[in-house]
Amino acid sequence: MAKKPTIKLPAGLDAAAAAAGGQPAASKQYLAAPVDNSQLQLKDANGQPLPATITGQQLVDSLKNTKYNGSQIEGLKQAVASIGRIPSNVKLSATGQITPDEIKAITGALAEAAGTTATGSKVNLVGHIQDVKNGTGAQSLYPDTTINIKQLDQPNIEASKATINDVFLSLLGRSASEKEIGQYTQKYLDYAAKNPTSQTSGVNKYGIIATPTASGGTSNRLFRGSQTETGIQNNLTEQAFLQNQVKSTGEYNAFTAAGTGFDMLTKMAQKDVGAM
């Protein structure tokens, strides 16, 4: 059975995917990342305010402290639910309570935020949730993408055999051997692989646009702002390529020279006959 390919995510996004899925992350940098607590206002086990900058681990630990962080936890539950991290058909736990699935959802959002934050910078969980909600966070997930479309000539082997024989007959006065057919077919395949019949390259650039919502407000949506393309055509056909290859051989030069000499003798003979 063929082994399925795997996609290696950057460390931060790998951790985010694992946290959101409830699986142990191979890398848990988000737990050690500095987190902005100025908006969260989380408290420690004794009810004392935590510093303005805490670690991801401190945030996760604070989710279990419903006694002193009840309102903060309720706000985070509602926030992650608003961006779909908690399914809409799942009822949230009562105020002042939190379930393991809700902790998992908040932890997943934290890992996402850390994964899109520069190393060493403070993770803004509240800001990340707002960006996802508004759609502005989508731009970082959809960077400019490149365009590279190639069209290669893959000739039919039987057709190539006929083409090679035609070229040999017209330029060398004989059919090609099986060995020569194989050699010239491979030459053209190698050439065609490196020289597409057409190639389009360019870039798609994305941006954000404010879109009216049903409630009367606006929501930022991702859109493709521009697309630039450059096209290159290669009009050298298989037959023209093969003709160039054969004309560069010593046999062709010899055959041409012999043909020229034969034509000269023929003309001389015709002249002599006419003079008689």
Which of 143, 141, 136 is CA-nearest to residue 12? 141
Q: Look at residue 8 and tell me whether its pLDDT is greater than 90.
A: no
pLDDT score for 71: 92
The model's confidence at residue 143, banded by pLDDT at 50, 70 and 90, is low
Query: How many whole angstroms separate alpha carbon 27 and alpha carbon 10?
Result: 10
- The answer to whether the beta carbons of residues 31 and 114 sit under 8 Å apart is no
Which of 264, 202, 256, 262 is CA-nearest to residue 227? 202
φ/ψ (deg, to 5) at 144: -55, 135
Which of 15-24, 100-109, 110-119 has the highest mean predicted lDDT (pLDDT)? 100-109
How many CA atoms does the CB half-sphere of 247 hold within 13 Å? 7
Residue 97 DSSP code: -
Domain borders along the chain are 11-134, 145-275
pLDDT in tens, 191-240: 888 888 777 777 766 655 555 656 555 555 656 656 666 777 777 788 88
Which of 73, 54, 70 is CA-nearest to residue 124? 54
- The answer to whether the beta carbons of residues 114 and 16 sit under 8 Å apart is yes
Q: State the average pLDDT over residues 50-72.
A: 93
Q: Alpha-carbon dihedral of residues 55, 61, 67, 70, nearest 10 degrees?
A: 70
pLDDT score for 131: 79
Q: Which of 33-42, 122-131, 133-142, 267-276 has the lowest mean pLDDT?
A: 267-276
Which of 233, 235, 207 is CA-nearest to residue 220? 207
Amino acid at 159: A
Average pLDDT, the chain: 76
Query: How many whole angstroms separate alpha carbon 173 and alpha carbon 177?
Result: 13
Single pTM value for the model = 0.45
φ/ψ (deg, to 5) at 60: -60, -40
In Å, how far are 41, 98, 132, 210, 232 from 85, measured between CA atoms?
A: 22, 15, 11, 23, 46
Q: Look at residue 57 and tell me whether its pLDDT is greater than 50.
A: yes
Q: Look at residue 264 and tell me whether its pLDDT is greater than 70.
A: no
Q: What percent of the chain has pLDDT over 90?
A: 21
Q: Look at residue 263 and tell me whether its pLDDT is greater than 90.
A: no
pLDDT in tens, 71-112: 999 999 999 888 888 887 888 889 889 999 999 989 988 988
Residue with tokens 């003709």: 243
pLDDT score for 214: 63
Residue 74 CB coordination number (10 Å): 18
pLDDT score for 136: 58
